[in-house]
Amino acid sequence: MHSALTIPELVSTICGELDRDTSNRKQGQATLAAFARTCKTVSAIALSVLWRQQNGFVPLLCCLSTEVLGIAESAYSGRAGGCRKTLRLQQPIRPEHWSRVFNYSRFTQDILLWEPENAFGNLDDHTLESISRSLSEQPVPLLQNLQKVRYRARSVRRAAYAFLCVVSGCNVASILYTSDGVPSTPDLHFIQCLAQKSWMSVTEFSCNGLVDKMSPHITCYESLVTTLRSLPNLQFVSIPCYHPLLEQLSKHPSLRALSVESRAFSEFSPPSPATKRHRIQGLNSLSLDFEFGTHLIEFLDHFDFTDSKLETLHIHLLHNCPTDMQNRLLEAFQSSLYTGVLTNFSIFVRYATESPEIPLGDVLNLLIASPKLDTLEVLLPEYLTPGMHCTDAGDTLVAQIGRRWGLLRQLTLASCVDLEGTVQGEAITLKSLFVLAECCPALSFLRIMIDASGEVPDVRALLPDGRMETAHRGEIQLDFTSPSPISAGNVESVARFLGDVFWSVGGLVNDETLGCRELWEEVEDIVLALHVA
């Protein structure tokens, strides 16, 4: 039976859309504030949207009366410009002064502390300590319903850490910590205190951005180990590649998603016959973001994921993978990962030579055992200079992918960054689009480097059994990325080719840096007109 939306449901939807409208953020906030001044039902919904996410504490502290807190505004020149608020305590805070602040803070669920000093309105140490003492006397924390904390490490004052520890509640589910590379001990102590207060509710923990120049190096790592040890219900974790951290995670049966980065790689002890590989079980998502192939092989020599039925796998190897290492790396993957039920796979591996030991198509075929792959992202090296061949980025690879995984709905085959120089070797031509339309009838998103400057194939001649249409069914979004050349004489024929190959083209996007942007815009107009007709 159909049931109509209730008024609160309609208001909630409207408020949510106003909050998401980035094109006119200021007007959306003003409308939400107007909603907050209406009847109780509408007011509660609008306030929950207005206060759900905060970038610091200044808006909440500004809810104190002007007799208690003075506010001075000064213009500053930043990326967007604007006014910076400086707060000044004008009299001691009594318990009753907090009632209005707590009325709004109960709605805050997500706080972003990207520049912690600005988050406190430039309050001096004495004032911040005074406010912290006053808040500590309240029956509940200021952010009693806080669920997510996103914190970027900066050098902040001791009083700021105390304030942060006092205001957070005991039901935080997500702690996302980003370092500038050299985290301080107080930073990690704050993260540890926050985790211990919400030890039962934290399910997501992230510590990213660390580099090997950390000081003190081991002390910081051991603090993270202690933090992880105190969180028994972790499900989603992103951490640096440090053996004790990963060993601790192997003891978490609730873990479902793991991301490992090696910017702060710490050398492992060489494996021995007496050393058992740590088995990490229960994962359905794994992301490996490494700089060097030797580090990745070393990591896989110590950790075994074959008991995890991975559905999502991301492999990113930033630096060159020499020819003599490619077989070793592939063997390490095959012995450490189970991919029989994989549905989402992303890979970026840079080869050091123009003639790889193992072609990328074979790498995909050996790594992905699942026939039910839904999403595939193959990111090709971003810097290919003249004289370096990219033999994998051609029609042969596309044909291998299409014929191997016919259930694909999303495919990305492009460079990480715009390619430099001339790419020599086999190009991806329009014929590849026909192959994908025939082999992957459910394809709905395609991001690909295409060369449409040559002869446009005759779709009718390519179709078998006298058919008039390809096997593709459904709408597709096409995203042509660099290099994506097209000649002026091919515009109409390319457009008709796309219209014949795909059942419906919902959107055609092209890289704005390309020299042939206007030609692709003409193609898009013709394709859309063909489908409307």
User: CA-CA distances (angstroms) from residue 444 to 22, 112, 436, 476, 501?
Assistant: 26, 35, 11, 4, 13
In a shared domain, residues 294 and 413: no
Residues 321 and 450 in one domain: no
Instruction: Please check whether residues 389 and 356 belong to one and the same domain.
Output: no
Domains identified in the chain, total number: 3
Q: How far is CA 196 from the centre of its chain?
A: 26
> What residues make up the domain containing 7?
1-51
Task: Name the most confidently modeled range: 154-158, 361-365, 369-373, 457-461.
Answer: 369-373
CA distance 204 to 220: 19
Find the distance separating the first CA and the last CA of the chain, reported in whole Å.
36
- Does 498 map to a domain? yes
Residues 364 and 426 occupy one common structural domain: no
In a domain, 474, yes or no: yes
Q: How far is CA 122 from CA 73, 85, 445, in A?
A: 11, 8, 47
**pLDDT value, residue 18:** 65
Residue 502 counted as domain residue: yes
Inside any domain, residue 241: no
> Using CA atoms, how far apart are residues 130 and 93, in angstroms rounded to an integer?
8
Helix and strand numbers, DSSP H then E, in the chain: 19, 19
Mean pLDDT, all residues of the chain:
83
Are both 300 and 316 inside the same structural domain?
yes
Among 346, 368, 390, where does a domain finish?
A: 368
Question: Which of 316, 337, 368 is a domain's end point?
Answer: 368
Same domain, 533 and 481: yes
Mark whether 495 and 407 lie in a shared domain. yes
> What pTM, to 2 d.p., does this model score?
0.86
| CA nearest to 145, candidates 110, 192, 99 | 110
User: Looking at the domain assignment, is residue 47 inside a domain?
Assistant: yes
Cα distances from 491 to residues 133, 454, 506, 515, 520, in angstroms, run 70, 11, 18, 14, 7
Tokens 């999303």, located at residue:
410
- 185 domain residue, yes or no: no
Residue 352: pLDDT above 90? Answer: no
Q: Is there a single domain that holds both residue 392 and residue 472?
A: yes
Question: Are residue 415 and residue 454 in the same domain, yes or no?
Answer: yes
Burial of 529 by CB count in 10 Å (0-12 exposed, 13-18 middle, 19+ buried)? exposed
The percent of residues in the chain predicted with pLDDT above 90, rounded, is: 41
- pLDDT (0 to 100) of residue 300: 93
Chain segment 303-351, per-residue pLDDT in tens: 999 999 999 999 998 877 777 788 899 999 999 999 999 999 999 887 6
Residue 238: strand pairing partners: 206, 259
In a domain, 333, yes or no: yes
Q: Report yes or no on 178 lying in a domain.
A: no
Structure tokens at 118: 């600005």
Which residue, of 368, 383, 398, is where some domain finishes?
Answer: 368
What mean pLDDT do residues 223-239 have?
93
**Is the domain of 402 the same as that of 529?**
yes
Same domain, 417 and 526: yes
Q: Are 180 and 155 in contact (CB under 8 A)?
A: no
Residue 325 and residue 379 in one domain: no
